[in-house]
Structures are given as structure tokens and as C-alpha cells.
């Protein structure tokens, strides 16, 4: 088991890529700290895993994060892996986007990553080891129509990744980012069929990705198999950008 005795905290873990990652980590022996805003959803998700602990946590509320981290450290003494997965969308063209739409996406997708990492990384520094994995997006590499706020947040996450890789690499902590393409989560599958078909045609693999395929990338970066991988951005998009 590649993650035996590791403690992994996953934000936005109740469904989609977050839950697929939790399930994969659980299979590989990790103690999964599953966090989400939705109390019922996170409890239900954790009940499907062998050794997962559900926690209600808001990545925009530092007190909420601190309370969860304090509880985890008191119980397990360490957090080895942080998956900054939580994210939202509030799409609109620039001329139609409200300030509230912009602020909410930046607050969750960008500042939420800052909040969680700043609160958790001191424990990794004390242990002199850790793996931090930030969820970016192909939109964070190439932009996307109607996603000024989301694109900015995901570009910013890549900036975090490269900066923190420099700051913490010599301390035994690796920081990397993953840029999923269009993945068959419930949110994406709810899109109109003609749009889904258009997305599939843009991919050189002619299909959407699965949450499990992204979870496998997270697993590689979280495990010791990637022990010399630091500061990279891995695009997992089926070649949609080619």
C-alpha cells in the first residue's frame, strides 16, 4: 500500500474528484480526513470508506480550518498530505460578471488554498516532510470564455505551487499542481448534451475524463513514487490543449 500510515486531508471531498481521491487513498492505506461544507454529504461519503473521518470545514473560514487541523493533530500527531481540491464556479462574461461572483470564486478557489496551506504547512515543516497538491485546471493554463474569475483563481493556484515549491523544497515538502480537463463529475454531466459532445470532439481521446483518472494522478504525487517531483503542473486533460 503506497500510503500506509499517511494522514491525508482532502478539501471538497464529499463528491466528484475529491471523493474519488479519498476512495483511492483509502484503498492505498491512508487515514483520510474528509472535509466539506455539506455535513450530510461528507458523513455519507466517509461511511463508504474503510478509515475516513468526516469533518465540516469551510476553506474561507480560518477558524473552521484551524479547528479541524487542531483536532487531527491532537489525534494523529501529523498531516502528511494536503489535497487542496475545494472549488466553485460562478460563470459569466466579463461585462455581465458581478463583483460578488468574482469575489466568491476567488475567496474559495484561491484564498481557500492559501488559508488551508498556511495553517497546515507548519506541521509539515515540523515533521520535515509532506506533499501538498493543488487543484488547478486547464482553464488555469489557457483561459476560458465566461470564466474570468475561475481562470484567474486557477492561474493563481499555479503561482502558489511554484512559489511554495521553492520555499519548502529544502524542508522536505513537495508542492505540485494538477490541471484536470473536462471530467465526468455530476456538475459536468448536467451540461446540455450538445455541449458535452462538443467537448468530447475537442479531446484527442474523444471522451471526458473520469474522477478516478484524476485521483490516480493525485495518488502518484502524494506517494513516495514522486519523491523527486516538485513544483510541477501536470495537465490531465486527454490532450484537449493540443
Q: How far apart are CA 148 and CA 47, in angstroms?
A: 37
Residues 6+ apart with CB under 8 A from 73: 79, 123
The CA-to-CA distance between both ends of the chain, in Å, stands at: 35
- The three-class DSSP label of residue 79 is coil
CA–CA dist 155, 61 (Å, integer):
22
Look up 218 and say whether it is catalytic: no
Angle at 226 between CA 220 and CA 228, to 5 degrees: 160
Run of H or E including 103: helix 99-106
Which residues of 16-72 form beta strands (DSSP E)? Answer: 31-36, 52-56
Q: Give burial (CB, 10 Å; 0-12/13-18/19+) of 178.
A: buried
Q: In a 3-state reduction of DSSP, which class is residue 51?
A: coil
The three-class DSSP label of residue 174 is strand
Task: Return phi, psi of residue 39, to 5°.
Answer: -60, -45
| DSSP state letter for 169 | G
Catalytic-labelled residue, pool 142, 150, 218, 228: 150
CA–CA separation, 175 and 163 (whole Å): 9
User: Which residues are known to be catalytic?
Assistant: 150
Amino acid at each position: 500500500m503506497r500510503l500506509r500510515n499517511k494522514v491525508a486531508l482532502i478539501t471538497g471531498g464529499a463528491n466528484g474528484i475529491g471523493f474519488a481521491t479519498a476512495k483511492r487513498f483509502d484503498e492505498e492505506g491512508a487515514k483520510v480526513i474528509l472535509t466539506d461544507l455539506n455535513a450530510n454529504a461528507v458523513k455519507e461519503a466517509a461511511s463508504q470508506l474503510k478509515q475516513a473521518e468526516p469533518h465540516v470545514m469551510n476553506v474561507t473560514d480560518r477558524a473552521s480550518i484551524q479547528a479541524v487541523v487542531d483536532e487531527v493533530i491532537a489525534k494523529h500527531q501529523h498531516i502528511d498530505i494536503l489535497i487542496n481540491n475545494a472549488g466553485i464556479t460562478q460563470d459569466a462574461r466579463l461585462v455581465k460578471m458581478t463583483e460578488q461572483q468574482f469575489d466568491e470564486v476567488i475567496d474559495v478557489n484561491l484564498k481557500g488554498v492559501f488559508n488551508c496551506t498556511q495553517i497546515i504547512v507548519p506541521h509539515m515543516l515540523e515533521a520535515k516532510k509532506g506533499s501538498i497538491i493543488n487543484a488547478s485546471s486547464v482553464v488555469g493554463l489557457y483561459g476560458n470564455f465566461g470564466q474570468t474569475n475561475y481562470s484567474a483563481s486557477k492561474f493563481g493556484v499555479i503561482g502558489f505551487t511554484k512559489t511554495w515549491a521553492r520555499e519548502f523544497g529544502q524542508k522536505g515538502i513537495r508542492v505540485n499542481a494538477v490541471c484536470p480537463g473536462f471530467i465526468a463529475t455530476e456538475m459536468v454531466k448536467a451540461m446540455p448534451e450538445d455541449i458535452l459532445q462538443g467537448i468530447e470532439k475537442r479531446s484527442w481521446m474523444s471522451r471526458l475524463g473520469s474522477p478516478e483518472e484524476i485521483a490516480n494522478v493525485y495518488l502518484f504525487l502524494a506517494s513516495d513514487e514522486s519523491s523527486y517531483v516538485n513544483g510541477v503542473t501536470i495537465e490531465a486533460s486527454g490532450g484537449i490543449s493540443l
